[in-house]
Chain A
Amino acid sequence: MIRFENVTKTYAGGATKAVDDLCLEIDSGKVFGFLGPNGAGKTTTIKMMTGILNPDSGKIWLENVELEKDPMTAKRMFGFVPDTFEMFERLTGMEYLQFLADLYLVGDAERKAHMEKYLELFELKNAIQQQIRSYSHGMKQKLQIIGSLIHQPRIWILDEPMVGLDPASMHALKQEMRAYCESGKTVFFSTHVLDVAERLCDEIGIIRQGKLIAKGEPETLMKNDSVTTLEDLFLNLTEKEA
């Protein structure tokens, strides 16, 4: 479960509201797609729920743990795939994964099993002993995805996860996201690929200028707006509001 309660974040000394009084609740066992135009506040929201940014006001709960009050427990709840590649470039892929497993206190057998599974799934086994800085954009993204799953978090947060992935890995990622929520865990991801969101998400939220302008099941939202595709709904809502 993820819950935002009146969360606000401003930049530039209060002049720009990146996220404006956001209230949002996502139940466990769901894939939630977070959509919005560029600069709408998606990444800021994700950064706040992962503890990277401090909200100016409001509260965030992850699995009933308030992030501000008990950050260590809350941070153990999620795995995060950021949209940038600020990684430890001089480590090998394996060293990076082992480093993460150490930080998340993952046992020997467990880490080995998870690594084997995901390295196979994302076809990164052959490159895992190489330094990260020799990786391509897509390989780095795959490594971040595997790293985020090393401790099998209750909540899986992904910021633009499809960027840079090859079709096979994109397919594997979608399958894994689906399987993950079916095991009772939550997937929260932001994307600009509306087709993926339409097919994959149990629920979507659309944010524009920091405000949540729509939330619900994609079919219901499309029906309410009398459109047949998520793309039309998105354009209607974001352009109408603008």
Chain B
Amino acid sequence: MFPYLKLLIRQRIATWNPINSQYARKSKARGIFAYIGFSLIALMLYAMLVGMEYLLYGAFAQLGEPQTMLALTGILCTMLTIVTGFFYIFNELFFSKDVALVSALPISSRGLLTAKLIRIWLSEACIALAVCLPVIILYGVGQAQGVLYYVKALLLVPLMPMVPIAVVTLLSFLLIRVSALWKRREALTVVMSMLFLGAFMWADMRFSMSSSSDKDAMSAFVLQLVLRQKQVFDMIAGLYPPIHWFNGALTLHGVASLWQWLGFAILNIGALTAVIAALGGAYQRLAIKQTETLARLNANSKTRVDRHGMRTPLMAMYRRELREIFMVPIYAMNSLASAVMFPIIAVAMIASAGSNTPELAMLPVMLTLVPKALIVAIATALFAFTTSMNMAVSTAVSREGKRHEFFRTLPVKPQTQLLAKLLMGLTINLICALPMALVAFFVLPAFRLQIVVGFVAALCFSTATAVVALMIDVNHPKFSWKSETEAIKQNGMAALSMFGAMGFIAVSGGAYFGLTALGVSLTAALLILCALVLAADVLLIRRLFSSTAKHYILQEVRN
């Protein structure tokens, strides 16, 4: 087991080594610059998290409850491991490519599961430390804690992800059993993930809507945030009492602290050990069974009537691009989430409006006081924003992976190939924005015309961001992925495109208000912006089909 574990850890470290990055393979300087760039982005995101923790800690300290922030960070880590780790652990255990190879090696099934879970735990422990350390230091400094406090914290925080990992492992074993029975594993995974996401968003929105304040904006925001976090804490601590042990272990002194520390440590180590002991023996058999599921399914499949007619190359490629998004769970999750998420947020807001926040119930009436032209602009920004989060078009080239070589051999113009990708991206944008537009259309019947105009205008904006995202992906594709998760989720350029699209909408909003401040009417300001974006769309598409298309077909896949 240990040589295998060593191999897994080495492999993980190698993926972070800048020398192994795709850019470094082209040129060392590019590799270093890319690494610095990505590190800066990561640092920026981390700084945002630290800033948020600092803000919240200050608020809790003012309320006289600084220890609640420690517990809240513990909850954050636990939730983070469950939410972000679910697909990761699921894939790592049952769909990793090494299952067949490793099965032939003299490693026991339990040893295999232990090695995999230890490797996962090490990654999650590092994340937990990164998330918790700022708060631990803030509390330690704020409460003038001694060295023992820091030692206890450093030993306890890495253990924290063990229970979530054990829970997710248990869930994935159950899911794999159920889905193997249903034989529609991928569809089930997508549906269950969407439901999970929906439930999570719903719960989150219920909490954020249930407390309101009309005080001074910033202090009201912080207070609302604190109260909301407190509610979350109370609810989760009720569901998961060991979080009190974690808190007690760090904040109490003497024997009381030691007992709480031991309780939390034993619970975490025990949970993971119990899962390994209970499921380890069956793991290998179940993992191998997954590779056979398709063969068994096919053996019983009836021959379908082929209704395929002749299609143009563009249509054939467009259909393939679109099908891929819907058929690969991880692609569907990352491309279609906003189609589910935003309508749920809207419905949760509406549902909360009646009981806790009467001002929300008044929204339709209040909106009648707002100029209709401004409502069009707000609708445009909102719908454009819902399209900005999907990664379908920004990874369209990267997702080809090594199959890019196949596309290079085809007698289909690169312009046609890129047009198919762009059309797929625009279709996904439409799918993402449409549910939200429908919700708005039915909830605000007095503004239907404005919503339709806003929807159309939003598509102009999202076309520009889609073309830019595609151009970025053509110029910086990530072909060297080994799993579909890597192709779409671990794609730095796609993340950049997403933030860029959000930034573009924000800048457009700023330009809109700038124009109105200069005395331009609301309608004219939106018309001017739409005209500019349409012109940009035309210019960008022309560039996409000229120099970018040439570049696309000349991109080489490097091993």
Contacts and interface: CB of A to CB of B under 8 A. Distances in A.
A236 interface: no
Interface string A65-104: 0000001110110101010101110110011001101111
Contacts of A127: 298
Contact of B556 (A54, A71, A87, A105): A54
Contacts of A51: 408-409, 553
A97 B310 CA distance: 12
A133 interface: yes
A101 B315 CA distance: 12
Interface in B296-321: 297-298, 301, 303-304, 306, 308-313, 315-317, 320
Interface residues on A, range: 35 or more
Interface in B301-344: 301, 303-304, 306, 308-313, 315-317, 320, 323-324, 327-328
B409 A52 contact: yes
B411 A86 contact: no
Contacts of B405: 47, 52, 82, 86
B289 to A, nearest CB: 14
Contacts of A53: 556
B412 interface: yes
A132 to B, nearest CB: 10
B294 A131 contact: yes
Contacts of B327: 90
Interface string B403-431: 10110111111000000000000000000
A107 B411 contact: no
Nearest to A126: B303
Which has the most chain B C-beta neighbours within 10 Å: A13, A108, A127, A129?
A129
Given A54-B554, A87-B403, A130-B298, A75 B411 contact: yes
Nearest to A99: B316
B409 A134 contact: no
Nearest to B417: A103
Contacts of B402: 84, 86
A191 interface: no
Contacts of A88: 320, 324, 403
Nearest to B298: A130
Contacts of B294: 130-131, 133-134
A159 to B, nearest CB: 11
Interface of B: 27, 294-295, 297-298, 301, 303-304, 306, 308-313, 315-317, 320, 323-324, 327-328, 401-403, 405-406, 408-413, 553-554, 556-557
30 contacts: A47-B405, A51-B553, A52-B405, A52-B556, A72-B412, A75-B409, A75-B410, A82-B405, A86-B401, A86-B402, A86-B406, A87-B406, A88-B324, A90-B323, A90-B327, A90-B328, A91-B323, A95-B308, A98-B308, A102-B310, A102-B311, A102-B313, A103-B317, A103-B410, A105-B313, A107-B310, A129-B303, A131-B298, A134-B294, A134-B297
Interface of A: 13, 47, 50-54, 71-73, 75-76, 78, 80, 82, 84, 86-88, 90-91, 94-95, 98-99, 101-105, 107-108, 127, 129-131, 133-134
